[in-house]
């Protein structure tokens, strides 16, 4: 597409779709016009791919996920469609600022963190590989809350990404599916009729997901909840205005917010309803498509693979069995077999508090037939394996992980260590019964968004050096290795990183009014705020370093900028205290005349995908410091390495594999192993002993305890200091001394600029393996048994 054609297309949509002329158009109007112009190009490719998948009767992959953290779509679309040049030229011609347009798009934050972002990377990789696939999610009206700081405290505000028109979706009112809840069951022999007492409608909204170079496109289908009977005109006419709109409001609640507060009874109920709503609508849709092409349901596993992303859609097993058995009349055991061979389950955490269970009373009330089927599935599994325990339903609860395991033909972990821990801990007994079921598929990230798009300077250097094949064959980045020995090339690499750091420094100055020196170590920890991720260990080290500088301000310290980003779950008090502490520390330290040349603390609010894209390319040091055994994989760790940051980290999750690939000598390792954590935790008084043995740690803790960062309220952080002193389940104190040592190794290494840059470049060269293209190929081979379609040949078009 030429620039002139692009310009004409933008102007056309500005007038005829957006209904504005160039004189009155605002940034929003231009953004919408550009989005529609780009979307037109995508739609043709998307249809072509969809037509081929049908015509060639291909097996499809269905990715069921309650979360898709997709972020902004415009730039991604432009880059994958190779339209940057024509768009940039056209915008320049029209006098429109590119940055301003890109920044105007709200982030689609339909996810909490890693799990949702992984789903988004997977969608992009599937499209790039030409794998016929469809993502199913919920179209939350309000995605993840927006985070603001008020006196350093986190305040949550609703995120209203749908407030403006959403350029990328197509409403599909003709795809409307009835979803029932509650009611009663009438058993007829082995089968049953379910008469729900409440029915909602799931309405589809489709977003095209286009792969690299636009050579394949898939669909992300998001469900919106609608009332069965809309507005009650009779009631309205009787004067009962509020009641007339009630069904509508009730139904909308269901797709209103991501992960509602489940500390209340109503919150729990709503979450379970969301899970069933999402899963039942998706399963119906999958079967409708299947039955339009084939007439034998026994073929289902050959033509469809259903992946359940964590246990949130694990009710898919019983729901599929219910339809096959109750509605289609397939024998119960055969129905279970078909469902199992179709479904597979990914586990994303071993944290006990995050393993889902549902009380039998609630489940029985909301999904009476499913509750019966779960018991029959348990019963069948007992007969198959000759066991008498290991039920999904036990102790008054349905354990969704067990249900997921029993109803899947493959169960996967998301990094090598995590998968091994699944086998030896949470799923030990089930693994012994089904030793072939658990497989590992180490996570990955899409190099299109997480290198090409977010880091244009480094990407250009890479492409100038080895060509652009790396974009969809990231293992090609290996070809950069010889360049890392070339001083001239390393200078260019350093220049790219430095320019990224200058950009970030300017942004920090403008938005947060903090001045940082781009020659400092940019040390970044961005992720959800959680005890196991140990942001507070990083804070303690920051305090210890600050105190050391104060003791001796002229000792030639290595300047650091400590950057934090992340949201705390709204009712997770401890995590919120960690956020508050970081902000209180920033206030004190950034204005300390003795230390502020050497140390700054920066915590931009509202960490999201777009902020990640801004921060990661500017990082020198990536903080991956979770308690070993607790972080299933991590994916931020991969993004940092790929963008030429060095990692300081524990042997946890995918850090283990990152270290293997970049080389142990190029990784700042510290801390206990997962096994050591387990034995050490059993030794009473571990925290007190660690504190007694490390005066720096003791002093840092004491500084917090005595109100060093909250003089107006010295007791503010007692929750944190008491926990660390007396309990410290996540072993912050026991790992602190070694963490401090590793941080000083970082200082020493950073002093040799050329050597640091060489190792940073090696990180980029050696982490192409973490492309989500590789991950998806793994699922295709080990889990889905499916092949990609030949990519659309652009030359032939
Ligand atoms: C959920 C919850 C909910 C209740 C409060 C405590 C808690 C703690 C953790 C979680 C995590 C749920 C699953 C999840 O998001 N796992 C993440 O999945 C990523 C993609 O596989 C992976 O990289 C992260 O390591 C893993 O934490």
If you take atom 23 of ligand 1, which residue's CA is the nearest one?
634
The CB of 65 under 6 Å from ligand 1? The reply is no
Query: Of ligand 1's atoms, which has the minimum distance to the CA of residue 414?
Result: 21
- Nearest by Cα to 214 from 33, 34, 77: 77
Distances (CA, A) of 169 to 110, 175, 205: 14, 14, 6
Query: Of ligand 1's atoms, which has the minimum distance to the CA of residue 112?
Result: 15
Distances (CA, A) of 779 to 215, 443, 653, 771: 21, 11, 19, 13
Domains identified in the chain and CATH numbers = 265-441 (3.40.50.2000), 517-751 (3.40.50.2000)
pLDDT number for residue 231: 73
Mutate to test the pocket of ligand 1, among 110, 111, 115, 307 (most ligand atoms within 8 A of CB): 115
Is 268 a catalytic site residue? no
Compute the distance from residue 367 Cα to the ligand 1 centre, in Å: 26
pLDDT > 90 in the chain, percent: 92
Is 348 a catalytic site residue? yes
Edge-to-edge strands, sheet with 668-669: 599-602, 560-565, 521-526, 621-624, 646-649, 668-669
pLDDT number for residue 309: 98
Compute the distance from residue 389 Cα to the ligand 1 centre, in Å: 28
Compute the distance from residue 352 Cα to the ligand 1 centre, in Å: 11
pLDDT number for residue 248: 80
Residues pairing with 764 in the sheet? none
Compute the distance from residue 583 Cα to the ligand 1 centre, in Å: 24
Q: pLDDT of 616-659, one tens digit each?
A: 999 999 999 999 999 999 999 999 999 999 999 999 999 999 99
If you take atom 5 of ligand 1, which residue's CA is the nearest one?
354
Q: Is 166 helix (H, G, I), strand (E, B) or coil?
A: coil
Please, are residues 313 and 65 in contact by the beta-carbon 8 Å criterion? yes
Is 650 a catalytic site residue? no
The CB of 78 under 6 Å from ligand 1? The reply is no
Residue 249 pLDDT grade (very low, low, confident, very high; cuts 50, 70, 90)? confident
Tokens 């007439």 correspond to: 295
The CB of 671 under 6 Å from ligand 1? The reply is no
Compute the distance from residue 73 Cα to the ligand 1 centre, in Å: 24
* Mean pLDDT, residues 744-759 taken together: 98
Tokens encoding 104: 């105007």
Compute the distance from residue 116 Cα to the ligand 1 centre, in Å: 10
Q: Which helix (H) or strand (E) holds 646?
A: strand 646-649
The CB of 631 under 6 Å from ligand 1? The reply is yes
Q: Which helix (H) or strand (E) holds 272?
A: helix 265-293
Query: Of ligand 1's atoms, which has the minimum distance to the CA of residue 443?
Result: 21
Compute the distance from residue 310 Cα to the ligand 1 centre, in Å: 9
Residue 239 pLDDT grade (very low, low, confident, very high; cuts 50, 70, 90)? confident
**Which residues contact residue 677 at a Cβ distance below 8 angstroms, ignoring those fewer than 6 apart?**
627, 628, 629, 731
Q: Is the pLDDT of residue 372 over 60?
A: yes
The CB of 751 under 6 Å from ligand 1? The reply is no
If you take atom 2 of ligand 1, which residue's CA is the nearest one?
354
Q: pLDDT of 522-552, one tens digit each?
A: 999 999 999 999 999 999 999 999 999 999 9
pLDDT > 70 in the chain, percent: 99
Other beta carbons within 10 angstroms of residue 165's beta carbon come to 11
Q: Is the pLDDT of residue 281 over 70?
A: yes
Q: Is the pLDDT of residue 317 over 80?
A: yes
- Nearest by Cα to 311 from 96, 115, 529, 465: 115
Q: Is the pLDDT of residue 797 over 60?
A: no
Compute the distance from residue 388 Cα to the ligand 1 centre, in Å: 31
* Given the residues 533, 576, 659, 758, the one annotated as active site: 533
Q: Is the pLDDT of residue 756 over 60?
A: yes
Query: Of ligand 1's atoms, which has the minimum distance to the CA of residue 310?
Result: 13
Q: Is the pLDDT of residue 240 over 90?
A: no
The CB of 449 under 6 Å from ligand 1? The reply is no
Q: Is the pLDDT of residue 757 over 90?
A: yes
Q: Is the pLDDT of residue 795 over 70?
A: no
* Given the residues 342, 635, 647, 703, the one annotated as active site: 635
Is 528 a catalytic site residue? yes
Is 311 a catalytic site residue? no
The CB of 196 under 6 Å from ligand 1? The reply is no
Query: Of ligand 1's atoms, which has the minimum distance to the CA of residue 418?
Result: 25
DSSP 8-state class, residue 174: E
Compute the distance from residue 565 Cα to the ligand 1 centre, in Å: 17
Q: Is the pLDDT of residue 233 over 80?
A: no
The CB of 118 under 6 Å from ligand 1? The reply is yes
* Given the residues 13, 434, 639, 766, the one annotated as active site: 639
Comparing 237 with 382, which gets the higher pLDDT?
382
- Nearest by Cα to 419 from 350, 366, 369: 350
pLDDT number for residue 264: 67
Q: pLDDT of 163-183, one tens digit each?
A: 899 999 999 999 999 999 999
Compute the distance from residue 350 Cα to the ligand 1 centre, in Å: 9
The CB of 634 under 6 Å from ligand 1? The reply is yes
Between the ranges 75-89, 243-257, 260-274, where is the mean pLDDT highest? Answer: 75-89
Q: Is 280 helix (H, G, I), strand (E, B) or coil?
A: helix
If you take atom 1 of ligand 1, which residue's CA is the nearest one?
354
If you take atom 10 of ligand 1, which residue's CA is the nearest one?
354
Comparing 117 with 796, which gets the higher pLDDT?
117
Query: Of ligand 1's atoms, which has the minimum distance to the CA of residue 113?
Result: 15
- Nearest by Cα to 620 from 769, 538, 501, 539: 501
* Given the residues 348, 393, 492, 659, the one annotated as active site: 348
If you take atom 4 of ligand 1, which residue's CA is the nearest one?
354
Q: How far apart are CA 14 and CA 19, in angstroms?
A: 6
CA angle 312, 317, 321 (to 5 degrees): 150
Comparing 795 with 793, which gets the higher pLDDT?
793
**Which residues contact residue 144 at a Cβ distance below 8 angstroms, ignoring those fewer than 6 apart?**
69, 109, 110, 111, 112, 159, 258, 567, 608
Q: pLDDT of 389-447, one tens digit each?
A: 899 999 999 999 999 999 999 999 999 999 999 999 999 999 999 999 999 999 999 99
Q: What is the 3-state secondary structure (H, E, C) of 671-735?
A: CCCHHHHHHHHCCCCHHHHHHHHCHHHHHHHHHHHCCCCCCCCHHHHHHHHHHHHHCCCCCHHHH
Q: pLDDT of 101-111, one tens digit each?
A: 999 999 989 99
Residue 236 pLDDT grade (very low, low, confident, very high; cuts 50, 70, 90)? confident
Please, are residues 362 and 355 in contact by the beta-carbon 8 Å criterion? no
pLDDT number for residue 214: 96
């Amino acid at each position: 597409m030429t620039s002139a054609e692009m310009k004409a297309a933008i102007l056309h949509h500005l007038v005829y779709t957006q209904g504005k002329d160039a004189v009155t158009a605002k940034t929003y109007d231009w953004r919408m016009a550009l989005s529609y112009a780009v979307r037109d190009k995508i739609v043709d490719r998307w249809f072509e791919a969809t037509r081929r998948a049908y015509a060639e009767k291909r097996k499809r992959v269905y990715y069921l996920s309650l979360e898709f953290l997709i972020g902004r779509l415009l730039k991604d679309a432009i880059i994958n469609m190779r339209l940057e040049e024509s768009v940039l030229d056209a915008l320049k011609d029209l006098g429109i600022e590119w940055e301003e347009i890109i920044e105007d798009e709200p982030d689609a934050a339909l996810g909490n963190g890693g799990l949702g972002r992984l789903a988004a990377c997977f969608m992009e990789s599937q499209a790039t590989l030409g794998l016929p696939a469809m993502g199913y999610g919920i179209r939350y009206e309000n995605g993840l809350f927006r985070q603001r700081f008020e006196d350093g405290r986190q305040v949550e505000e609703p995120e209203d990404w749908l407030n403006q028109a959403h350029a990328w979706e197509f409403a599909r009112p003709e795809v409307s599916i009835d979803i029932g809840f509650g009611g009663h069951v009438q058993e007829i022999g082995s089968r049953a009729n379910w008469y729900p007492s409440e029915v909602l409608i799931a309405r589809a909204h489709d977003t095209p997901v286009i792969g690299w170079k636009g050579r394949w496109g898939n669909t992300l289908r998001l469900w919106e909840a609608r009332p069965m009977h809309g507005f009650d005109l009779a009631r309205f006419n009787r004067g009962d205005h509020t009641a007339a709109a009630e069904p509508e409001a009730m139904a909308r609640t269901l797709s209103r917010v991501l992960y509602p507060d489940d500390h209340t009874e109503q919150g729990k109920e709503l979450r379970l309803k969301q899970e069933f709503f999402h899963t039942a609508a998706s399963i119906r849709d999958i079967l409708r498509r299947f039955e339009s092409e084939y007439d034998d349901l026994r073929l289902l596993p050959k033509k469809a693979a259903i992946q359940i992303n964590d246990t949130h859609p694990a009710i898919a097993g019983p729901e599929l069995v219910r339809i096959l058995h109750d509605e289609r009349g397939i024998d119960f055991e055969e129905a279970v077999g078909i469902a199992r061979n179709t479904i597979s389950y990914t586990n994303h955490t071993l944290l006990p508090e995050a393993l889902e269970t549902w009380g039998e009373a609630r489940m029985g009330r909301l999904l009476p037939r499913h509750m019966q089927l779960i018991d029959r599935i348990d019963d069948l599994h007992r007969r198959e394996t000759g066991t008498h325990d290991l039920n999904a339903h036990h102790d008054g609860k349905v354990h969704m992980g067990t249900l997921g395991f029993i109803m899947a033909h493959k169960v996967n972990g998301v990094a090598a260590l995590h998968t091994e821990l699944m086998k030896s801990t949470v799923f030990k007994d089930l693994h012994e019964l089904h030793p072939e079921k658990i497989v590992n598929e180490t996570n990955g990230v899409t190099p299109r968004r997480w290198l090409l798009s977010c880091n244009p300077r480094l990407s250009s250097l890479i492409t100038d050096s080895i060509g652009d094949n790396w974009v969809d064959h990231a293992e090609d980045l290996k070809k950069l290795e010889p360049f890392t020995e070339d001083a001239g090339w390393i200078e260019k690499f350093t220049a790219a990183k430095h320019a990224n750091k200058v950009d970030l420094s300017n942004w920090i100055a403008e938005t947060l009014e903090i001045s940082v020196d781009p020659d400092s170590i940019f040390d970044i920890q961005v992720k959800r705020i959680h005890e196991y991720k140990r942001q507070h260990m990083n804070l303690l080290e920051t305090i210890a370093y600050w105190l050391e500088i104060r003791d001796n301000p002229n000792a030639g310290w290595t300047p650091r900028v400590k950057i934090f980003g992340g949201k705390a779950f709204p009712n997770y008090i401890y995590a919120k205290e960690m956020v508050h502490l970081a902000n209180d520390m920033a206030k004190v330290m950034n204005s300390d005349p003795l230390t502020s040349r050497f140390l700054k603390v920066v915590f931009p609010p509202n960490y999201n995908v777009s902020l990640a894209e801004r921060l990661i390319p500017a990082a020198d040091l990536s903080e991956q410091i979770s308690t070993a055994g607790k972080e299933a994989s991590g994916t931020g760790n991969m993004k940092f390495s790929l963008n030429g940051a060095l990692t300081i980290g524990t042997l946890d999750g995918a850090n283990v594999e990152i270290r293997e690939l970049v080389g142990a000598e190029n990784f700042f390792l510290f801390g206990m192993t997962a096994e050591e954590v387990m034995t050490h935790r059993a030794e009473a008084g571990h925290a007190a002993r660690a504190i007694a043995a490390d005066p720096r740690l003791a002093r840092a803790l004491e500084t917090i305890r005595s109100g060093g960062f909250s003089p107006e309220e010295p007791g503010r952080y007692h929750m944190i200091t008491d926990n660390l002193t007396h309990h410290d389940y996540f072993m912050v104190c026991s790992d602190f001394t070694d963490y401090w040592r590793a941080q000083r190794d970082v200082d020493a290494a950073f002093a040799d600029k050329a050597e640091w840059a060489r190792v940073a470049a090696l990180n980029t060269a050696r982490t192409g393996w973490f492309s989500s293209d590789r991950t998806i190929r793994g699922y295709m081979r080990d889990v889905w048994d499916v092949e990609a379609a030949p990519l659309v040949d652009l030359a032939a078009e």
